[in-house]
Amino acid sequence: MAEGTLTNFIRKVVFKAEPYLPQVPKPKKKIPLPTRLLWCGVALLIYMVMGQTPLFGATAPEFDFLQFARVIFASQQGTLVELGIGPIVTAGLLMQLLRGSEILRFDFKKPEERGIFQTATKLVTYIVIVAESIVYAAAVYGPGVSEPYVLYVMIGQLMAASIIIMFLDELIQKGWGLGSGISLFIMAGVAQQILWSMFSPLPAGDGGTIGIIPYIGTSIIDGDVSNILFRSNQLPSIFGLCLTAGILLILVFTQGMKVEIPIVSTKYRGFSAVYPIKLMYVSNIPVILASALTANAVFIGQMFWANFNPRNNNVFMNILGQFDPTSPSTPIGGIIYYITPPRGLDVAVLDPMRAVGYVLFMIGIVVVFGRLWVELGGLSPKSAAQNLLDADVQIPGFRRSNQPVEALLNKYIPSVTIIGSIILGLLAGVSDVLGVFGSGIGVLLMVDILINYYTQLVREQVEVVMPRLGALLGRK
């Protein structure tokens, strides 16, 4: 009853608010692929320019409170994209969890129901934008503001920039571009970090350049190549470059591993295909959730430490976490110390138990979130079986009903969920500890997004040659 009441309330709110919501119109006809790629480039260019535009009135804070989420949110500190895609991701994830847990009940087989859900998500995004802009500006930049109007201007900038980002994402998703703006911005941000680590000519603390390629060149010219394999202070090195390439190869290889179940169309006679159950069935959502949870735990631990244990002399609080008084963002003991990665091989060698503990922690928490996401995200055997039936396909040799199809999928989905989560947690943990370019979670996200874009490009080509088969693939 409560679920139905909430859903009906949302329908009423959407019905009243929709006429006043500005929206990007859908194209009247399908746009050619080159034009859609051009629109993607324009949206990305606007986003990158905003990422280099300073936030008026902002002073550099002592600590970067969003450092843990910069990769996930594709954001840049002190710029118009300070919040990045954070409000969009937060609102979308909240609505998906509410729908996956069936607190909100919408029938996505009906276009009007899907439209109501999308509009409701947009309304929630506006609310999150306002809330995050006010809280973040007041908490991070507020103490350094001399005039109240400057704080109001910063809040307005954050809101306006976040709304522009929301429209750029909507522009791409509604058919003017390809894929989603969120994925595009994350991928570009991670790629930028990797390229920076490889080619940056700016000077580093060890007397060389930040980028490993220029550093190798200058080291060869100077006749001293003793430090190019490993570098201190987490600077890019040949070891990091080889590790990044190795992680990329492993991810590409594992993404291609799947169980293929043959399916045939009940609507288009003669069409057959396969339903792939990938080894990485849960995608990267569990890693994102695990990283966000860990970062929030660290942030709360910092608050408790600053208020109740600044000298690390409280025995009970020391169990939770201890921080370096000269650098409050650096944990030196307690539970928080072991759930944060010792970034860099040189740091990991000094405390190998912490490195091993962090990797095991990442594996365990990603497995927990993986199983949770399968249930809440509509990926369970029951939901997958229903999606197959809704797509007008069936598995040869099985009756066209939920129970036999669900029983077949139940042989594979729980197993790949656990195995895939273990691999993701292991790769993310090891990558963060050893210091891959772009961070471990960043590389995971970039590979997943690139593979999804490749799949979409293949689907676009299929639709050109065989429109009916392309339509069927688009529904799965």
> Do 277 and 414 belong to one domain?
yes
Record the tokens describing residue 153, joined without a space: 């201007």
> Do 254 and 365 belong to one domain?
yes
State what percent of residues in the chain have pLDDT above 90: 7
pLDDT at residue 475, as a whole number: 44
For tokens 């043959």, name the residue.
Answer: 262
> Do 169 and 253 belong to one domain?
no
pLDDT at residue 360, as a whole number: 92
Whether 435 contacts 293, CB under 8 Å: no
> Do 165 and 247 belong to one domain?
no
- Identify the residue with better confidence: 263 or 120: 120
Other CB atoms within a 10 A radius of the CB of residue 205 amount to 10
Domain end, chosen from 151, 178, 205, is at 178
Q: Which structural domain, as residue segments, surrounds residue 168?
A: 2-23+33-178
Domain end, chosen from 124, 147, 178, is at 178
> Do 286 and 421 belong to one domain?
yes
Q: How confident is the model at residue 465 (pLDDT cuts 50, 70, 90)?
A: low
pLDDT (tens digit per residue) in 15-65: 888 888 888 888 888 888 888 889 999 999 999 999 889 888 777 665 565
Q: Could you tell me which of 10, 89, 102, 107 has the C-alpha nearest to residue 376?
A: 102
> Do 279 and 414 belong to one domain?
yes
pLDDT at residue 157, as a whole number: 94
> Do 158 and 256 belong to one domain?
no
Is residue 388 one of the residues assigned to a domain? yes
Is residue 307 one of the residues assigned to a domain? no
pLDDT at residue 1, as a whole number: 42
- Identify the residue with better confidence: 416 or 288: 416
pLDDT at residue 118, as a whole number: 83
Is the pLDDT assigned to residue 158 strictly greater than 90? yes
pLDDT at residue 161, as a whole number: 93
Is the pLDDT assigned to residue 476 strictly greater than 50? no
> Do 284 and 402 belong to one domain?
yes
Is the pLDDT assigned to residue 11 strictly greater than 50? yes
Q: Could you tell me which of 63, 98, 57 has the C-alpha nearest to residue 79?
A: 57
What's the chain's average pLDDT?
80
Q: How confident is the model at residue 164 (pLDDT cuts 50, 70, 90)?
A: very high
**pLDDT winner (highest mean) among 202-206, 398-402, 449-453:** 449-453
pLDDT (average), residues 241-246: 88
pLDDT at residue 68, as a whole number: 61
Amino acid at 124: V
Domain end, chosen from 147, 178, 209, is at 178
Residue 460's domain is classified under what CATH number? Answer: 1.10.3370.10
The structure's pTM equals 0.75
Task: Give 323's strand partners.
Answer: 331
> Do 358 and 470 belong to one domain?
yes
pLDDT (tens digit per residue) in 54-95: 888 777 665 565 666 677 778 888 889 888 888 887 787 778
Half-sphere exposure of 362 (CA within 13 A, CB side): 27
Whether 89 contacts 166, CB under 8 Å: no
> Do 172 and 268 belong to one domain?
no
Q: How confident is the model at residue 328 (pLDDT cuts 50, 70, 90)?
A: low
pLDDT at residue 462, as a whole number: 62
pLDDT (average), residues 304-316: 81
pLDDT (average), residues 386-404: 75
Lowest-pLDDT range of 39-48, 94-103, 213-222, 416-425: 94-103
| Rounded Cα distance, 277 and 258, in Å | 5
Is residue 383 one of the residues assigned to a domain? yes
SS3 labels along 371-425: HHHHHHCCCCHHHHHHHHHHCCEECCCCCCCHHHHHHHHCCCHHHHHHHHHHHHH
Q: How confident is the model at residue 317 (pLDDT cuts 50, 70, 90)?
A: confident
Is residue 127 one of the residues assigned to a domain? yes
Q: How confident is the model at residue 321 (pLDDT cuts 50, 70, 90)?
A: confident
Is the pLDDT assigned to residue 440 strictly greater than 60? yes
pLDDT at residue 66, as a whole number: 61
pLDDT at residue 167, as a whole number: 92
pLDDT at residue 468, as a whole number: 46
Alpha-carbon Rg of the chain, whole angstroms?
Answer: 24
| Rounded Cα distance, 201 and 209, in Å | 5
pLDDT at residue 473, as a whole number: 47
Coil/strand/helix, residue 329: strand
> Do 162 and 263 belong to one domain?
no
Is residue 111 one of the residues assigned to a domain? yes
Q: Could you tell me which of 221, 202, 222 has the C-alpha nearest to residue 212?
A: 202
pLDDT at residue 73, as a whole number: 77
Is the pLDDT assigned to residue 177 strictly greater than 80? yes
Is residue 280 one of the residues assigned to a domain? yes
pLDDT (tens digit per residue) in 101-153: 677 777 766 777 778 888 888 898 999 899 989 988 887 787 777 778 888 99
Is residue 215 one of the residues assigned to a domain? no
> Do 153 and 252 belong to one domain?
no
> What is the count of structural domains for the chain?
2
**pLDDT winner (highest mean) among 296-310, 339-353, 395-409:** 339-353
Is residue 38 one of the residues assigned to a domain? yes
pLDDT at residue 463, as a whole number: 62
- Identify the residue with better confidence: 344 or 443: 443
How far is residue 131 from each of residues 6, 143, 156, 313, measured CA to CA in Å? Answer: 22, 18, 12, 36
pLDDT (tens digit per residue) in 346-382: 788 888 888 898 899 989 988 988 888 787 667 788 8
